[in-house]
Amino acid sequence: MSKIKVMDEILANKIAAGEVVEKTMNVVKELVENSIDAESTIITIDLIDSGVKEIKVSDDGIGMDREDATTSFLRHATSKLLEVEDLFNIESLGFRGEALPSIAAVSKVELITSDQQVGTKVVIDGGKIIDCSNSDLSKGTTIIVKDLFYNTPVRLKYLKNLNTELANIIDYVNKMALAYPKIKFNLTNNGKILLQTTGDGDILKVIYNIYGVDVAKKMIEVNNSNDDYYISGYISYPEIARSNRNAITTLVNGRVIKNNLLNKVIIDSYHTYIPKDKFPIIVLNIDVDPILIDINIHPTKMDIKFSKFDELEKLINEEIKKKLESLLLIPNIAVRNETTIEEVSKINPNLEKEPIATKQITNYDELTLNLDDIDVNESTTNYENSEEHYRIKKMNPKGIVFLTYIIAENEDGMYIIDQHAAAERINYENVLKEITKDNPIIIDLLVPIKIELPSNEYLILKQKLDILINFGFKIEEFGTNTFIIRSHPNWIKEGYEEEDIRKVIDIILTNDKFDLDKFVWRLSATQACRMSIKANDYINYEDQVYLLDTLRKCENPFTCPHGRPTIITYTKHDLEKLFKRSLD
């Protein structure tokens, strides 16, 4: 007797539901995507108990006739993918024909739809159609999903608590609202409004609705393209970075995706602008020929494979860095104002700024900022009479508080500068320039330095000796598990040669997959940190003048190499409002 049999349709749908429907958000996702594919302009999502008890999605789309209304619940029934060739040119959000039968298999579903020719109501319980009747002719579709997983208690048990389920739904609907600003989204839970967008096509208004006015004011529009990709959207100022990646919204041809490689490219573009444990707020839409992507790699269709990813990486990296380099990125400690949604569309995120400096610090002796040895008259050039301009205006120091923070002013306002972060930025850019020189200055050691390592580290370093050699070190094997250093590049600090060389070796040993850019950054940042003045180091007035004037010359004077701010500001208007001198 044959042991292999074809599965019952309902059983097959329940198994498919395990891949497509894991939580309430998956149901909302599939229904909302169907509404978008149906050319809807208004989509309303009403939840009861975070969707566990009921999910209702209504739209004003093209609707369905009676035959399509019943056929849509058959497995692999779809209007979006008819031939094999269509799989390589997918432009709709849905295409597999698995979502509705999977949802219906594990819940109680009611479908009301009309194409304005006929109205249809279909009632399904556990995957079985139990009623099909006439309904009203209001254009669009409403799907009500009740008692999710009522017939699969094992899956019901693994749903998260109601707050977590609701948070997942809100996050998804927020991202869809950002992806489709021309669609009016309404989201409620137990009658409470959680999101309402205008549907007028203004992404900045949607950002306001989701994140609030403080974020909307600190968003920068991006727009660029190459032969294969077109990117558009908004990126945030570094100062409003978040502690998780949830605020990174990436869209490909209108589809919300989660791709680790793409997120890494975006985060790396903010390198040194934000700390490594912070993440920017991003709304980035990528338009590409469907033939260059594959969206059929995951049941939820939220991951994607790219062809020519290197070209996309270069485009994103260049555009974000170009925007950040063009802005005045001094955090403003502003007095909060009430701002209406109508005002958001008028926000110009690009603050006034001065042209980027072209001059670089060339005196390497200034790297350590040993300010006692500086000739102040020589180092503090009269920049106002110079033809060179910098990203921040000249600041006049007025004193130091807590032996750490320099208080300064100019005609625009008051500034607070972290003396260590400022010195670290200056040293970092100079060390970076020295490290990346084609012909570094090499210093021969009168007494060679012997470096002894454990056997495992010795073998790893032996394989990577070319890294040290390329950076100007002369290193040789010297007995068992030992190397000898005979010369080093001039950015190694005098008097700390062995300590610094061991740090360089530690960086090499702790990088499993060697990345030259990250190695150079970490090396430069490590050197800059140890070379710089620290908090509680006293510096006099002339030292403060030198430090601030040198900071102005940096390519990025706004953050230290680890992404922490070097400077914040109060405008004169902010101070007047704080002291009630100005009431507007």
Alpha-carbon torsion, ordered 27, 33, 36, 38, to 10 deg: -80
| 516-531 and 419-435 helices, crossing angle to 10° | 130
CA distance 516 to 522: 10
CA 185 to chain centre: 24
Give the full edge-to-edge strand order of the sheet including 474-477: 442-452, 482-489, 474-477
Residue 187 contacts by C-beta under 8 Å, 6 or more apart in sequence? 44, 45, 47, 169, 170, 173, 193, 194, 195, 196
DSSP string, 210-248: HH-HHHHTTEEEEEEE-SSEEEEEEEE-GGG-BSSGGGE
DSSP string, 187-200: EEETTEEEEE---S
CA distance 469 to 467: 5
CA distances from 12 to 203, 275, 302 (A): 41, 48, 23
What domains sit in the chain, N to C, each tagged with a CATH number?
9-196 (3.30.565.10), 203-325 (3.30.230.10), 354-441+490-584 (3.30.1540.20)
**What pLDDT digit, counting tens, does each position of 243-258 carry?**
888 899 999 888 888 8
What is the model's pLDDT at position 262? 92
Low-confidence ranges of the chain (pLDDT < 70): 1-20, 75-97, 154-155, 158, 295-302, 333-389, 511-514, 583-584
Whether the Cβ atoms of residue 317 and residue 284 lie closer than 8 Å to each other: no
Residue 231 contacts by C-beta under 8 Å, 6 or more apart in sequence? 222, 223, 224, 225, 284, 285, 286, 287, 315, 316, 319
CA distance 111 to 515: 54
CA distance 273 to 327: 12
Smallest CA-to-CA distance from 559 within 247, 327, 228, 343 is with 327
Q: Which residue has the tokens 């997918």?
A: 90
Whether the Cβ atoms of residue 57 and residue 45 lie closer than 8 Å to each other: yes
CA distance 559 to 353: 16
Q: What is the pTM of this model?
A: 0.71
Residue 95 three-state SS: coil
Query: Strand pairing of 42-48 and 184-189?
Result: parallel
Amino acid identity at 201 = G
CA 89 to chain centre: 28
What is the model's pLDDT at position 100? 84
Q: Which residue has the tokens 């990486």?
A: 313
CA distance 9 to 132: 20
CA distance 63 to 73: 15
CA distances from 236 to 283, 321, 479 (A): 9, 12, 54
Measured from the Cβ of residue 83, the count of other Cβ atoms closer than 10 Å reads 7
CA 463 to chain centre: 35
What is the model's pLDDT at position 232? 94
Q: Please give the span between the terminal C-alpha atoms of the chain, in angstroms, as a whole number.
A: 88
Query: Strand pairing of 42-48 and 54-59?
Result: antiparallel
CA distances from 125 to 100, 270, 577 (A): 13, 50, 62
Whether the Cβ atoms of residue 393 and residue 415 lie closer than 8 Å to each other: no
Residue 91 three-state SS: coil
